[in-house]
Structure 1
Amino acid sequence: MNLQHMTDRSLIVFSDSWTTKKEILDGLINQFVKGGYVTDRDSYKQSVLEREKISATGLENGFAIPHGKSAGVVKAGFAIARLAKPLPADAWASIRSDNQVELIFLLAIPDKQAGTTHLKLLQQLSTKLMNEDFVNQLKTARNPDELFNSLNLDEADSKDNRLTCSHGKNLIAVTACATGIAHTYMAAEALKKSAKKMGVSLIVEKQGANGLEDSPTPEQIKNADGVLFAVDTKIKGLNRFNGKPYIEVNVAEPLKNGEALIDRALNHPQGILRKQIENDSDTLLTSKEITKGFSWKRWGTELGKAVMTGISYMIPVMVAAGIMLGIAKLTWLYIMHLPIADIDLPKYNSFGGFAQLIHYLDLFGGMTLNFMYPIFAMFVAYAIADRVGLISGFLGGIFAAGLNYTLWGITTGLPSGFLGALVFGLAAGYIARFLNTKIHLSKNLQAMKPMLIIPGISVLAIFLLNIYIVSPVFGGLNLLISDWIKSMANGGKIGLSSIIAAATAFDLGGPVNKAAGAVAIGLAADKIFPLTPRVLAIVIPPIGMGISTLIDKWVVGRHVYPADLRVAGNTSFLLGFLAISEGAIPFMLRNPLITVPLNIIGAIAGSVTAVMLGAVQWLPLPAIWGWPLVSNLPAYLIGLFVGVLIIALCNIFIRYHLIKKKEAQGEKIDY
């Protein structure tokens, strides 16, 4: 194959000045623009950066293969950077933590291109990069011309997708990455190499940008001893593998240790793929579902994956809301010099001009934030039941966010918050899945099940769950907390501060938080007790969690949060200064047993410190613009610092300890 057709000498850069990932990507993207491969630099760069968030594009042996698919790419191709000095091991996220990147292939893929010669050549490049001799030849080239000439490879690449062994076992693998190019084919090649060493007959189906390639026949599936899914996306055609033992890992795992994965798939599978209802492709269940017996461990794993799925879809909503709110509030206060408390006044609905625009931007940010719970619950249900769980999960999230009270004109309603969203998401998923597996209809009536029967019954179940269980439970909890805090009104400022702070930090905007707020504001209105612990406990958790994601690498020498939570941490930090505590909710949903107690401890410590040092805040303005209204502001800031530091450091050290414990047990964690 002649890979020269996919690049140009101008796209090959030997650099001794690029020392960061940003410089490399920016430099290569500029070369694409100059060469006419890319017409919209920003959209292509965004696609590359979005791909970087999904999984590591650094691999091993010193190379990385970032890539992006965008409408801004008009001609498929790749650019190459060879560095004079390898980057530090932590400068480019890689499947091997010790990988020092020095050879970078940046792929540009047109958004709508599939099945073309260009795309196939890019796939061949991805596969060829698994050849160490080829990579080393590129790394030892003395100049761009020599490197360019080495891309013209005369040897024929094997197109035999099946590796056979007369005495070995039969395995089927499916590989799929988000863009359907690089990792899809590299994972397939890595598995083929490992299978050959082990004497295992292997068939690899690639679910890439060209659709399904090298798919196994029904006979091959029948004879398979197991199925290995190395995927970052939803598996297509899962029903074909019903009844087969399986394991499922992300698409980068085969590049780390293909032999161990093959052994697991054949000898230690996760379970058996569930037998599905015939012709029910619209409600295809995921490979996490197992047929034989009940296991608390498997059930816990399924719950964890469902929650993580919900969080992954919720974070972009939260980030978007935080950006809108931040722009609006900071512009209103520091550019327009208007009182921040006036930003949501109804008079600005028809005020006209820039003030009306910023007013609506703030309302839009708040509205977007309200959809955080519906999105979370919807995709928790989706992870459990697939498409049939979406609607009931979304409507359960509506209840959790309290949007039903807004639509019904009820001003005293109590939303159930993140706990309610979790309950509704799980309930919707399991109810929909139960209905899908237990209701059997004739072939002519099959369409009624996903379109009518399952949505109707599951939505009604969520409505009744809210009316008779969730709403009364959280309403009763609200009353209980309110009465408890009121009973402590004369119990001493340290005790009362601790209770208000703990209740405020417990569920970050949920019913317990709101109960604490109602009582604290009432006590302040009657001049019985100031709002100091309340306003501090609102901002300490989100700022603390945000700081934690920013300094973990400096404190323990590595990241202790996955990439999605590091993104959420930046938003949490910003929202904390805006007094929006919901920014820390993704952390609570992912690890409640760690996050909730530490939030409470940090809020109590910070609030009590500030109160004992003499800080006093009577007005309900916890955001940064309310701080100048605090009496004894230095004491307030000291309390804030103490609470934030406790949350940040304790989270880092506890999570680091858990990571080291898992690694000691042989589990690979590469954040």
Structure 2
Amino acid sequence: MELRSQTSKNLIIFDADWTTKEAVIEGLADALDREGILTSKQEFLKTVFEREEVSPTGMEKGLAIPHGKSTAVKEAAFAVARLKKPVEDWESIDPDNKAELIFLLAIPEAEGGSTHLKILSELSTRLMDEAYYERLFQADSSEAFLHALDYSGGQEKEGSEPVPTGKKVVAITACAAGIAHTYMAAEALEKAGREQGVQVKVEKQGANGIEDGLTKKDIEEADAVLFATDISPRGKERFNGLPYVQSRVAEPLRKGPEMITRALENPDGTVSAEGEESTGGDSGEKTSLLKEMGQGVLTGISYMIPVIVSAGLMIGIAKLGAMPFGLVNEINDPEFATHENPLFVLLHHLDMFGFLIFQFMYPVFAAFLAFAIANRPGIVSGFIGGAFASGMHFQYWGVEGAVESGFLGALFLGLAAGYIAKFLNEKIKLHKNLQAMKPMLIIPAISVLSIFLLNFYFVDPVFGALNQAITDLIEAAQGSGVLLLSSIIAAATAFDLGGPVNKAAGAIAIGLAADQIFPLTPRVLAIVIPPIGLGLATLLDRYIVGRRVFDANLYVAGNTSLLLGFIAISEGAIPFMLRNPLITIPINVLGAILGACTAVFLGAVQWYPLPAVWGWPLVESFWAYFTGLAVGALFIAFANIFIRYGLMIRQEKKAKAS
């Protein structure tokens, strides 16, 4: 396609003196707006900045390609800026990248599925050509830049083609967003192959689906396969028996030739029938156990978040619908299931439906955690483990008063299910005529039975004992002082966000309040402080430290967590706890203690079990209550931002050093 047809002289800006990413994007959006490309600059900017939160748009060698698709865009176009001074902190796939050549793409919503991918892939591919890239930097006028945009690229000089080696390598590239990085990595590998005389064919698994798909013949003729992916590649089992190298999607941009050499001479291992590692050289870069577990947790979280969001929306709609009638807390009473008012019946069942969806939060998480470790053989046992963690078995066994294991149980049983299924898949060898029995009968039977026994003899007893220990601790602290008792109740409530420790604290706190011994102030505050604090962290981080410190999934979870916090559903913060428990749990506990003790010390009193926003008018000394809430939530927000930012800086320094 002709790239110059998508821009104009007025959309090319030389020697711009913008010094931040935000200023560059806003300046280029101004240019698009002046040219009549946009109907609403603010709406378009909102879309672009939302896209910036998903994954880096900075590339390497000074390049950045921010983009947005919006109903505020009349026709597809892009603006370009070449800066006087590079923006050094533009989030990029190359940590050392300093953005000085920026393309801002504006795509109409109606064309979002094809046009912006076509432009992005075309740009990404052409910019991998050094000669093309240099011409863009050397252009001294808008006309010269437009001409350079459709420059055909540097041609190899006659006789400079390397001697073909006869070797063939196939590859898959895929990134989280499935856009620019996917195409640039593919072009880098193909270019490296040409330079080495190796035939390289790349399948791009992008936002438009699979492009340039590898045929059976391609794979049969290949000597090795490269997986340059940030997400699990589709159809990995096609490469059974091939030597492989696994890397991040950005790796080919820096080390394309080295990766091809490694795949042919010193691969990480060979691909098994299920797409798992079966063998590996001593120097291969196998995934460490901790890294594999971390990737599994991330996969589980990414599939769990839509469950939390949908459950929260159902409950929120029901509560909002009941609010004008003063039935926010009462709408879940069974009497409304058969009420004469059909609206109340609908709202009641919608509220119950939301809580039903929450029951599947842990099964979905554990199933996909196990899937990430063991592939399909792990899904069933992982789902069963998550069901145990949700306490579904207690309902069917008629056990009353039992406490489910919650997120800790889901984490433990999901990991156990994954590694049990993986072990069985690797160790059980059957005749080829009986192979179908392994994934359909043998692995599910053994792995599900193993999860049942683990839960029955270990998980449930451990969490039952933990529940009793917390109960004993709180009861023993009743006569030890107001602030100490408040601290213990708040800490236990915030510890596992609806899990066994939380429930033990709730049972004791409600009992004390019912007997007019001690109010529920620390309990109700500790329910809402963690989800509100973590939600605020995802909104404030780029203003506090100048960059995003959470991954894309957690930004989605953050919005949900903030909303659910105000209606007293702490489960919205669980994805943060699963992603970084060693960071999140201590901060949640400290924030809850700090907020609860502040409110109690200032004189706030709440006797009713109404932590949601509609219960706040019933608080005695509301200003003290709100002060405690603000102190606790802001502590959690700032602590998360600064600790995660510090860890990011440390990791970046290590990456540069290596």
Bin of the TM-score, shorter chain as denominator length: 0.7 to 0.9
Taking a change above 3 Å as real, the CA distance of residues 646 and 33 of structure 1, as seen in their structure-2 partners, is closer
Distance in 2 between the 1:289 and 1:501 partners?
50
The SS at the match of 2:56 is coil
Return the offset for 1:443: 1.9
CA distance in 1, matches of 2:306, 2:618: 34
Match of 1:345 among 311, 326, 333: 333
- In the alignment, what sits opposite 2:104? 104
Change (3 A) 1:259 1:542: farther
Shift of 1:338: 2.0
CA distance in 2, matches of 1:480, 1:638: 32
Distance 1:402 1:263 in 2: 52
Which residue number corresponds to residue 537 of structure 1?
Answer: 526
1:88-487 superposed matches below 5 A: 89=87, 93-96=91-94, 98-99=98-99, 102-105=102-105, 123-131=121-129, 133-134=131-132, 140=139, 152-153=150-151, 173-177=171-175, 182-193=180-191, 201=198, 203-208=200-205, 209-213=210-214, 221-222=222-223, 227=226, 229-238=228-237, 240=239, 242=241, 244=243, 246-249=245-248, 251-255=249-253, 258=256, 271-273=268-270, 276=272, 280=273, 284-286=274-276, 298-333=288-323, 336-351=324-339, 352=341, 354-406=343-395, 410-487=399-476
CA separation of 1:667 and 1:402: change in aligned 2, threshold 3 A: farther
Structure 2: distance between partners of 1:409 and 1:487: 31
Given that 1:32 and 1:79 are in contact with CA atoms closer than 8 Å, whether structure 2 keeps it comes out as no
Amino acid at match of 2:486: S
| Correspondence 1:39-78 to 2 at 5 A | 55-60=55-60, 61-64=62-65, 66=67
Any stretches of 5+ residues in structure 1 without a counterpart? 35-41
Contact 2:492/2:505, CA 8 A, preserved across alignment: yes
State the secondary structure of the residue aligned to 1:340. coil
In structure 2, relative to structure 1, the CA distance for the partners of 1:32 and 1:236 (3 Å cut) is: farther
CA distance in 1, matches of 2:410, 2:334: 30
Q: TM-score, normalised by structure 1?
A: 0.79
CA distance in 2, matches of 1:454, 1:311: 24
User: Which string of whole-angstrom CA distances, capped at 9 and with x for unpartnered residues, describes residues 275-294 of structure 1?
Assistant: x3xxx5xxx14459968799
Query: Counterparts of 2:356 and 2:8 in 1: how far apart (Å)?
Result: 45
Paired letter, 1:207: K
| 8 Å contact from structure 1 (residues 503, 512) kept in 2 | yes
Aligned residues of 2:48 and 2:66 also touching (Cα < 8 A) = no
Report the TM-score when normalising by structure 2: 0.81
Q: How many angstroms does 1:459 deviate by?
A: 1.8
C-alpha displacement of 1:595: 1.2
> What CA distance in whole angstroms lies between the structure 1 residues aligned with 2:172 and 2:110?
24
Q: Which of 427-436 and 209-218 deviates more?
A: 209-218
Report the Cα distance in structure 1 between the residues aligned to 2:368 and 2:448, rounded to whole angstroms.
15
Asked if the contact 1:321–1:369 (Cα under 8 Å) also holds between the matched residues in 2, the reply is yes
In the alignment, which residue of structure 2 is the partner of 1:39? none
Cα deviation per residue 1:605-625 (whole Å; 9 max; x = unaligned)?
221222222211111111122
- The CA deviation at 1:300 is 1.4
Q: Could you tell me how far apart the structure 2 residues matched to 1:369 and 1:13 are? A: 52
What's 2:536 paired with?
A: 547
Shift of 1:206: 2.4
d(CA) in 2 for partners of 1:315, 1:174: 27
Relative to structure 1, the CA distance from residue 216 to residue 56 in structure 2 (aligned partners, 3 Å threshold; closer, same or farther) is farther
Provide the rounded CA distance (Å) in 2 between the counterparts of 1:346 and 1:555.
Answer: 47
Mark the CA change 1:266 to 1:602 in structure 2 (over 3 Å): closer, same or farther: farther
Structure 2 residue runs of 5 or longer lacking an equivalent are 17-21
Determine the C-alpha separation between the residues in 2 that align with 1:465 and 1:111: 51
State the distance in 2 between where 1:12 and 1:396 align: 60
Percent identity, aligned pairs only, is 47
Secondary structure of the residue aligned to 1:666 is helix
Distance in 2, Cα, partners of 1:408 & 1:79: 62
Q: Distance in 2 between matches of 1:547 and 1:468?
A: 40
Counterpart in 1 of 2:479?
Answer: 490
Which shows bigger deviation, 487-496 or 184-193?
A: 184-193
Structure 1 counterpart SS, 2:99: coil
Deviates more, 1:46-55 or 1:627-636: 46-55
Q: How far apart, in 1, do the equivalents of 2:47 and 2:126 lie?
A: 24
State the secondary structure of the residue aligned to 1:665. helix
1:645 alignment partner in structure 2: 634
Contact 2:595 2:633 in 1 (8 A): yes
Q: C-alpha distance in 2, partners of 1:411/1:101?
A: 64
Whether the 8 Å contact between 2:121 and 2:179 is mirrored in structure 1 is: yes
Counterpart residue number, 1:557: 546
Q: Deviations over 1:371-393 (max 9, x none)?
A: 22111101110011101111111
Distance in 2 between the 1:441 and 1:11 partners? 65
- Distance in 2 separating the partners of 1:240 and 1:487: 61
Aligned to 1:37: none
Match of 1:634 in 2: 623
Report if the CA contact (8 A) 2:174-2:204 is conserved. yes
Which amino acid in structure 1 is aligned with residue 104 of structure 2? I
Is the 1:572–1:584 contact (alpha carbons within 8 Å) kept by the matching residues of 2? yes
Q: Which moved more, 1:412-421 or 1:170-179?
A: 170-179
